[in-house]
Amino acid sequence: MKFKFSIGGYFGGYFEFVLKKGYLYCYIPNYHLKPSEPTNIISIHDDPDWETLLHFLKTLKWKPTYDVGICDGTQWTLEVKYEDINIKSYGSNVFPRGFYKFLRLLNNVTKKHGIAPAF
C-alpha cells in the first residue's frame, strides 16, 4: 500500500504523512521547514478510523491537478495506491470536492495520538 499526503503554504507551515509498513510517519514542523526525521509514528494496524479513511478514498474521483496558477497559498499532494484505490492528485489554492472531509478523516486517525495538524 502507498499513502503519501502533504500540505503546506508559505506562511502556514508544512505537514507530511507517509505510510511505511503499517505505520504512518508524521512530519510536522515546529517552523516552516519539513523535519528530517518524523515527529511522530502512528500504527494503523486495526485502526477503525484508518479503515473509514480508506473506505472514503475509494469513493473519490479526483483529477490529477487543481491549480489556479498562483504560487502563494496552500499546495497539497495526495498519492494513494491500494487495492482499487489509485489517486495521484496535486493542488495549489484549489481543493476538490471531498477534500475537507478527507482532512477531517485523516485528523480522526492522528488526533487520538495527540497529533492535530493545523490544516
Domain ranges in the chain?
2-111
Contact 18, 33 (CB under 8 A): no
DSSP 8-state secondary structure symbol assigned to residue 55: H
Q: Could you give phi then psi for residue 45, rounded to 5 degrees?
A: -60, 125
Model confidence pLDDT, tens digit, residues 87-115: 999 999 999 999 999 999 999 999 999 88
Is the pLDDT at 12 greater than 70? The verdict is no
Confidence (pTM) = 0.90
Model confidence pLDDT, tens digit, residues 33-75: 666 789 899 999 999 999 999 999 999 999 999 998 777 788 9
Contact 74, 93 (CB under 8 A): yes
